[in-house]
Amino acid sequence: MIPPHSRSTAQSDADWPYAAPNGVDPQGARGGLRVDYPRDGRWGLRRWVPSWKLATGVVLGSIGALVGLFALIYATIDIPAERDVASRQATVYYWADDSRMVSVGDVNRQEIPLAQIPVPMQHAVIAAENADFYTDSGVSYRGIARAVVNMVKGEGTQGGSTITQQFVKNAYLSQDQTLSRKAKEYFLSLKITNQRPKQEILEGYLNTSWFGRDSYGVQAAAQAYYGISAKDLNPSQAALLTSLLKGPDNLDPSLSPAHRERAVARWNYILDRQVETGLMNAAERATYTVFPEPKAPVKPNSQAGQIGYLIDIANKYLKNRADLTDQDLANGGLRIYTTFEKDKVSALAQSVEAVRNESLAPQTRESDRNVEVGAASVRSSDGAVVAVYGGQDAVTHFSNNADTSAVPAGSAFKPFTYAAALEYGGLGFVPAEESGVPTLGLVESLVSSQNDAFMAAGANVGLDKVKDMAVASGLREESMARLDPTFSVGTSTPSAVRLATAYTAFVNNGARNEPYSVRRVERDGVALSGFTPPDAGRAMDPAVAQEVSAALQQVGANSVEPTSTRFLATPVWAGRTGANDGMNSAWFIGTTPELSTSVTMFRAEDGSTELLPMDGVGGQDSEQGTVFPPRIWADYQLAVAPESFVTVPETPTPPVLATDEDQGFGTTS
């Protein structure tokens, strides 16, 4: 073979064994460009290290390709027609038997020109959301990078977005958190920034943004929160509405004290931020010291009665289970199949109202005013919520009494203290059926609502263990009270839904259910994943559950008042408060192998979390109202499970024979 350096110029490419195809000289002397890689004349590892020329060429070529691709996408992407929010499909809720419950779909949106949106509202939004809005390119590269990182980490693509990007998402794209949607958002934002004035973009953003309370756009939001037109918003109110853009699910101050606390902090931040960005002077900022409380939310008439409370329960479950937001639900197109049974919902409401009408006289008795009732009924076998009573009317009473977490459980909490003492050995004995030693002290105290024995048991076993037992049974950690000596006797504030579900652990041999209210969700005819019933867990040892069950059946037998013709025939595991609790709340939880139903009664002014005294509710003989929850439970149980009671026919009264004296005989004149 002839070495390369000895090649004769007379030899043709065809004769030369090292010739490259198509006349390309392997040495780059003529005929085209040769990529010198792996590198000639190098040995070992150096042969695979590219030259600076090659590296520079690759980098420049890649940049050129990316620039070309960017230019191609930018040139070919078109700005689509704005999505018509008003044309979206409604969300429909269904009963447990798949019959239609209610359709939620009216869009509350009114577009107004930027001239009718006050400057303070514009300044608040710009300061809080995008301080360099009027000078930026329409996109946030840092936010896009964060979105890509989040996607790689499997956390969705949310990142800091400009006002333009948010407008594009609202007006042209879906709310899906995907990389493809983020890419479309990026290119559309650039194109719209180059083709439209910033004032038009800001106007579009303020007319399409979601503010909560079924409100799209600042005009609808001003009416929903303050009952005024957007043009009449003052800087303080504008700051509160702007705060809602971060998520009304967490910042609507009317929803809870925690929501209000977050809203106040965000409101203060937005006012301060306007000073920082030069959009408000410090002197004006100093005048806004009183939080602009919005008016109470208003539900549509289609959600009157108990329907609004049922939707509230279902929506909370959806947001926890499927990570949906209120805006996702408001966007519509969902078919939500619930666990609520229409006949049981109706029966529970009728039972509450019957007892209210028979026993309370708010027109004439001061102590009967502001009385509230909450109730929940769940299926004992799996925790399905079949009925709730959230208040007299969801349209006029916004707070859901069945799902509130502000009413102390009192003696209804004691079974968890009892279970903890048994489970963790705080009483120093084994279950009665194994040891033959009855636990009379706690049983008697449970039946009679005495506190001393339970406070001692809690101190002995450890209050942290009592809390662990309550949470393991299904009560929420955030509803647990401070761990002081009274913790064991019920200072915690679980909801009616949670207490009803937690009690099922006692009838299920210690197995714990998680409450659920939605069976299936469909979008465009396709079922969404993640809605199989939650798996059961283990709350306590079966022997512990059986021991507590025996005590709870004594409570049940002593709580449900018999009548002359009706007696309880089914064993009932029951917990309740009594007059000895001396609390501002009354509870009764009655559980059978089929249904677990909790009922609470308390007094509170609408919108307030401070409880009023229960003394004298329903008269002096009502034992601070504690007689009423068992009556509501019994009336409801009779309606939905009549087999729980045995009815004894009334014995006919024997005729009374008339005496001679009655007939007027033997009288003297």
- In tens, the pLDDT along 554-596 reads 888 888 776 656 777 888 888 998 877 878 999 999 999 999 9
Residue 246: name the closest of 260, 261, 266, 271 by CA: 266
Q: Looking at 229-243, 253-267, 325-339, 652-666, which range is the least confident one?
A: 652-666
- What tens digit of pLDDT does each residue of 79-120 get? 666 665 545 667 899 999 999 999 887 666 778 999 999 999
296-322 as b/e, with b when 16 or more CB fall inside 10 Å? eeebeeebebbbbbbbbbbbebbeebe
Q: Which of 347, 405, 409 lies closest to 632 in space, CA to CA? A: 347
DSSP string, 89-139: PPEEEE-TTS-EEEEE---EE----GGGS-HHHHHHHHHHH-TTTTTS-S-
For 234-238, what is the mean pLDDT? 97
Which token pair is 154?
């499997």
Is the pLDDT confidence value at 21 over 60? no
| pLDDT mean over 245-249 | 89
Question: Residue 650 and residue 647: Cα distance in Å, rounded?
Answer: 9
Contact 632, 389 (CB under 8 A): no
Confidence of residue 51 (pLDDT cuts 50, 70, 90): confident
Q: Which range in 81-85, 107-111, 326-330, 499-503 is most confidently predicted, on average pLDDT?
A: 499-503
Residue 657 has pLDDT above 80, yes or no: no
Each residue of 152-192: pLDDT tens digit?
555 544 555 899 989 888 888 765 555 666 777 777 888 88
Instruction: Tell me how far CA of residue 55 lies from CA of 38, 60, 370, in angstroms.
Output: 13, 9, 79
Number of Cβ atoms within 10 Å of the Cβ of 647: 12
DSSP 443-485: HHHHHHT--HHHHHHHHHH-HHHHHHHHHHHT--GGG----SG
**Confidence at residue 598, expressed as pLDDT on a 0 to 100 scale:** 97
pLDDT at 364: 92
* pLDDT for the residue numbered 317: 94
pLDDT at 9 over 90: no
Mean residue pLDDT of the chain comes to 82
Write phi, then psi, for 586 (nearest 5 degrees). -130, 135
Q: What residues are paired with 575 via a beta bridge?
A: 589
Fold classified for 341-517+537-669: Beta-lactamase (3.40.710)
The yes-or-no verdict on residue 655 having pLDDT over 70 is no
> Are 554 and 447 contacting, i.e. CB atoms less than 8 angstroms apart?
yes
pLDDT (mean) for 477-481:
95
Give the type of residue at 186: Y
Closest CA to 446 of 541, 557, 543: 557
**Interval 414-459: pLDDT, tens:** 999 999 999 987 554 444 344 333 455 878 777 777 788 889 999 9
Most confident of 16-25, 52-61, 238-247: 238-247
Does residue 151 carry a pLDDT above 60? no
pLDDT score, position 242? 97
Q: Quick check: 600 pLDDT over 90? A: yes
- pLDDT tens for 541-561 read 999 999 999 999 988 888 877
Which H helix or E strand runs over 545?
Answer: helix 542-559
Q: Domain segments of the chain: what residues?
A: 107-285, 341-517+537-669
Q: Residue written as tokens 């700005």?
A: 79
> Do the beta carbons of residue 588 and residue 602 sit within 8 Å?
no
Is 8 a residue whose pLDDT tops 50?
no
- Among 75-79, 263-267, 301-305, 643-647, which stretch is predicted with the lowest mean pLDDT? 75-79
* CATH T-level topology, domain 107-285: Penicillin binding protein transpeptidase fold (1.10.3810)
pLDDT at 513: 93
Considering the entire predicted model, what is its pTM? 0.72
